Every structure is written in C-alpha cells, then in structure tokens.
Chains A and B, each alone.
Chain A
Amino acid sequence: MTEPARSVTPQREPDLLAQLQDLTSNLRNALDRFRLDARLTALAEKEIPDARQRLSHVLNLTDKAAHRTLDLVEKSGPPAERTARQAQAIAAPWARFRAGTISVADYCDLIARLDQFLTTARTDSDTVRANLAEVLLAQDYQDLTGQIIRGVMNLVSEVEVVLVDLSRLAGHEPGAVADTRDEMNRGTGPVIPGVDHGASVVNGQADIDAMLSDLGM
C-alpha cells in the first residue's frame, strides 16, 4: 500500500484555523487588558488617593475622640477624689457624733465640714456627670468612621478582583506570600480575627506568660 499523497489545501486549513484561534484569543486578551487598564487607571488616579484621604480622616476622627475622652477622664479624676477625701475626713467625727462621744469643738468642726462637703459634693458630682455625658457623645465617631471604612473595604474588594484578573492574564497562579524578615522585625500589627490565626500566633496574655516562663523568664 502506498500512502495517499497529501493535498496542500486540507493541510493548510488546520493551520489557518489555529492562527485564527490565536488571533481571537490575543484579541480577547487585549480587550480584557484594555478593560482592566481603564479600570486600573481610574482606581490608581482617583479612587485610591481618595481612599487614602478617607482613611486619614478616620485616623483624625479616632485620634480626636480618644484625646477628648482622655481629657474628660483626666478632668473627672480630681473632683471624684475630692469627694472621696472629704467623705473620709468626715467619717471619724461623724462616728463619734453618732456614739455621743464628740467634743463641742469637734462638733462645730464637723458641722463646718459637712456644710462644705454638701456643697462641693454636689458641684463635683455635677462636673463628673457632665464629663460622662460628653464621653458618651465623644463616641459618635464610630458611626462616621464605620461608614467610611466600609466604603474603603468595597474599594479594596474591587482592587482585589482587578489585580487577580491581571495576575491571571499575566499567567501567574495566586499563592501564599510569607512574611519577610524585615516585616517581622518592624512589626506586623495587631492580630486580626479571621486573618491571623493558628499556632504561629499567641492566644492572649496567659499564652505569652506561659511561653516566657518556658523560656526561663
């Protein structure tokens, strides 16, 4: 049996088809890239700088609220202490008065102290109560920062989708990235539930104490 002679035309057809497929695929990739590029440009030029500005505003709001709260707590300490001190000073002569063993001079002194205590305790309590009401109001940042952070979270999700698409187009497979030595030295920040977990992270102060104890501290 002799092999049938190959005709030129049927051999060129699959080549042409393959080339056409390549071309279509390249065109689709180019269109995908173009779509991604346009979105990336908008993200990079407008939305990410905006997000940075928004997060900076969150920092300012939380910083201000924390300082305002600390101011009020520091302002509330002295009047609360004064009330406690004056009550303490009255307790002993008052007990003697109740027992009927107080001297006339101490009785006069007790009356004067009681007069002063009743006045200052009222004004000091008013001050502390007003400060507590302001501490309450200082927590209003939570509502505003919550809304801003949620907006930025949505943006981060979108950036994630675009970057994963880009990475796929470039032919990369997503994989885990380990902490670099420098990051570890500098510190990686607080543990985030759902992000940092497992055996590499301690579970609270008791865990650290046990670890340090094992290390001989």
Chain B
Amino acid sequence: MSKDMKFLVVDDYSTMRRIVKNLLHDLGYANVTEADDGNTALPLLQNGSFDFLITDWNMPGMAGLDLLKAVRANDKLKKMPVLMLTAEAKREQIVEAAQAGVNGYVIKPFTAATLKEKIDKILESRAVPA
C-alpha cells in the first residue's frame, strides 16, 4: 500500500485526533482527515475515497461499534480496513468488535510502535489475498 493512503481518524477528543495524526505523519502517511464521532464520520466515508479508518469506541452521537457496523453494512465501504483505537477493555466488547468485522484493536494508552505494528499487519494481510 502506498503512503498516499487516505486515513480517517474518528475520536471525540481533538487532542487524541492530533496525537494519532502526528503519529501517522511520522509513519509517512500525510493524508489524514478527522471526524469527532460516527455521525460526522459516516458521510465523510460515503462521499470520500478513504483507504483506512481508525476509530475510537466511546463517543457521543454514534459510537465506534455502530460506525463499524454501518461501514460493514455499506456496499461501498464494507471492505475498508478498520482499526479500533479505544480504552474499552471488556473481553465481551472485544469479541463483539471482532464479530462486527474489526481488523485490528489497539487499547489506550498505546505506543507509537503498537499503532505502527497493527496498521502494518492490516495492510500486509490486505496485500496478500487469503
């Protein structure tokens, strides 16, 4: 995958969005758009040509799990790689996210290395068709 990939980062906290955006820049991904919850993210996803979605879970408006389900239910978006970046740590929730079709799950607080590792892993699995 190329470094021109378009990322959408969804988190209700602007500081967290800035942190993720900076980390993505450091990884060479300069094309990053932000949204503050599922309701603002979904129209952006539908109208834009994003290649990768990174979303928080716990947000006002539409939560991350519902955004994931909406993405998977949409013909145009259903194959989009989705990385959940969240503080939600209940086993039941992780199973639910996996069942809803999440591609990766990073728990907050996280490190730059973990974020890179999970993005790389998702992109590698995309590059080699199963």
Which residues in A have some Cβ–Cβ distance to B below 8 Å? 63, 66-67, 70, 73-74, 184-191, 196, 199-202, 204-205, 208, 211-212, 215, 217
Contact = CB atoms under 8 A, between A and B. Distances in A.
B106 A205 contact: yes
A190 B22 CA distance: 23
B52 to A, nearest CB: 17
A169 to B, nearest CB: 34
Interface residues of B, number: 31
B88 A215 contact: no
A67 B14 contact: yes
Contacts of B90: 184, 188, 200-202
B88 A188 contact: yes
Contacts of A184: 90, 92-93, 96
A70 B19 contact: yes
Contacts of A217: 98, 103
Nearest to A66: B15
B91 to A, nearest CB: 6
B81 interface: no
Interface string B72-100: 00000000000000111111111110100
Contact of A205 (B59, B63, B114): B114
Given A67-B14, A208-B105, A189 B87 contact: yes
B58 A188 contact: yes
Nearest to A71: B18
B130 to A, nearest CB: 11
B18 A202 contact: no
B44 to A, nearest CB: 21
Among all A-B residue pairs, the 4 with the closest Cβ atoms: A187-B58, A190-B87, A66-B15, A187-B57
Contact of A70 (B22, B66, B89): B22
A198 B112 CA distance: 28
Contacts of A190: 87, 89, 108
B107 A202 contact: yes
Contacts of B98: 212, 215, 217
Contacts of A189: 58, 87-88
B12 to A, nearest CB: 10
B15 A212 contact: no
B10 interface: no
Contacts of A185: 63, 65-66
Contacts of A205: 106-107, 110, 114
A67 B21 CA distance: 13
A70 to B, nearest CB: 5
Nearest to B86: A187
A85 to B, nearest CB: 16
